[in-house]
Chains A and B, each alone.
Chain A
């Protein structure tokens, strides 16, 4: 074997090894951290809630995975799965909205950008909404608005805390003003939930921007964020264009918002469930799980310690 052949062989075997590696990433056996590039066994990564073991980067996760992480096994009951988007404006940009909806559904299996349901979080009953960035950038249209509103209304009736995991680019332009008005609709439902003295905790994940930031993401009694998420109202590029100057590197990150007083706490994903459970139980001083049921009609002032069932 000549030296030349040896090199040729080496290149070839190297290539097959690379092929195999890519195949395994594609199979999902291994995952590559988009931040530090380190390959991790997917099983280990999943065990660590999809947070890179090497650099702590929070990989993007989606609706079902988030529910699995937060809700006790076997307690999840999803709500309003039967609500589907339509194309009310007959909207067409370079592609029709109807086609976009169909394609996104085929690709992701999702019907729209939010999952809602009831379940238990460390044994505590909660109403949970999880936005899914895969479905048109987690944008908020009529379906997101309706499902979240129904979830909050139900939580108000059943006296449950609400948690909404936000991940959204903002309002869904393809539904025009109907989308914008969902901001008000959800905020209205939150006002009633608040008036009933119930707890609402939004969890801000990467990215939370636009109309979602300007409504339910910022209306929490307590606002929790994942590390290094982008959170803001106007897009970074828009702000840069307005000012014609470079922005600070940490602009519109969870850390920036914490520093400026718009987020209560930044919680790494592996601690999220515990922290949420702790926050909720701190607001239920008189009893442990399962929460006893207070009928809607009971005026709040009668909820005194004497009422606590033994």
Chain B
């Protein structure tokens, strides 16, 4: 996992940066051939590259963030779980549907000595894996497995940590037949019933109801370049603009970035990413996530069951913007 020696996959807005890095390599090569000292020049160029990277990643548009959030090398749920836990046993199946959904994984882990239940959407690492994982689009069986594991956590007093990374719940014939809507709805309600701490983190793409189906918690965190949408910008553009190519405008209008959601009172905490995005330094990103999870767990563990449930209720109760005109 977390393989960083592969050639980086470039996003279009990273091109100027790649050009600059190529130039550095060229200068270095030339210098070696001609045996001249260009270390000053290289240092300058590298400083410029760092600065450029910083500038690019500090000023990403929502559509660009969406690209980072969907980056094929972005660390996935299992990457984070394996990197931050001392022990991990994946558990399978919802005991109902007769399948095990590979797009939504979960199990019991030990995090800094403490047993917790972790679960999340799982995208594939390559095309073949992605087909098996259904691109992280969970089926009713996945949501029911998640609920089964969360109930288990509740029974044994283990906190629940969920990781959100999905384009959306699977829209297929089988998913509809098995009650995709009911499966998500059931989780929404039941997650308010649970007494153990729940922390939800959007690690990549938060796609609508498919994300919310494991997204009800005491805390909602998001990585800096993650996005969370009511409908994918592509779908929104097709419906409202009647033109799928208007997706960048839709991404802008829908307010899908971590900062937007913080402003709207939906998000509790933004987790910073290394310059260049989570995939640029997965281990550092894991540390950031782990630290935030432990800090929040410590606070939440101090509360009683009733306090946590009340807090969770009030957290969602407040969300919404409307006016009240005098009668």
Residues of A within 8 A of B (CB): 81-86, 88-89, 91-94, 142-143, 145-146, 149, 171, 173-185, 187-192, 194-195, 210-211, 213-219, 232-235, 238-239, 242-243, 247, 251-252, 260-262
Also in contact, A260 and B316, with CB within 8 A (given A173-B230, A183-B209, A216-B185)? no
Partner of B254, one of A89, A183, A238: A89
CA–CA, A183 to B323, complex, Å?
A: 19
Let me know if B69 is at the binding interface, CB within 8 A: no
What are the 6 A-B residue pairs with the smallest beta carbon separation, nearest first? A234-B171, A213-B181, A142-B320, A187-B188, A233-B181, A88-B321
Contact A178–B319 (Cβ < 8 Å): yes
**Chain A residue, CB-CB nearest to B267:** A177
Tell me which of A93, A180, A191, A242 contacts B209 (CB under 8 A): A180
Complex CA gap A173/B235 in Å reads 10
Could you write out 6 A-B pairs with CB less than 8 Å apart? A93-B241, A171-B208, A175-B321, A178-B266, A183-B188, A184-B215
With a cutoff of 8 Å between Cβ atoms, the chain B residues found around residue A85 in the complex are 322-323
Contact B209 A214 (CB under 8 A): yes
Determine the chain A residues whose CB is within 8 A of the CB of B312 once the complex forms.
Answer: 188
Most A CB within 10 A of own CB, among B313, B317, B319: B319
B212 CB contacts on chain A under 8 angstroms: 180-181, 183-184, 214
Q: For residue B208, which residues in chain A have a CB less than 8 angstroms away from its CB?
A: 171, 180, 211
Distance A175 CA – B236 CA, assembled complex (angstroms): 12
Known: A173-B239, A178-B320. A191 touches B189 (CB 8 A): yes
B317 with A173: CB separation less than 8 A: no
Partner of B176, one of A81, A174, A215, A251: A251
Contacts of A235 in B (CB 8 A): 171
Find A91's partner among B173, B209, B235, B253 (CB 8 Å cutoff): B253
Give the CA-CA distance A63 to B13 in the complex, in Å: 49
Contacting residues, chain A, for B169 (C-beta < 8 A):
214, 233-234
Give the Cβ gap from B210 to chain A, nearest Cβ, in Å: 9
Check A177 against B171 for contact (C-beta < 8 Å).
no
B193 within 8 A of A: yes
CB within 8 Å of A: which of B84-115? Answer: none
The answer to whether B188 and A142 have CB atoms under 8 Å apart is no
Q: How far is the CB of B106 from chain A (nearest CB, A)?
A: 20
Do B322 and A218 have beta carbons less than 8 Å apart? no
* CB < 8 Å neighbour of B188 from A86, A145, A184, A238: A184
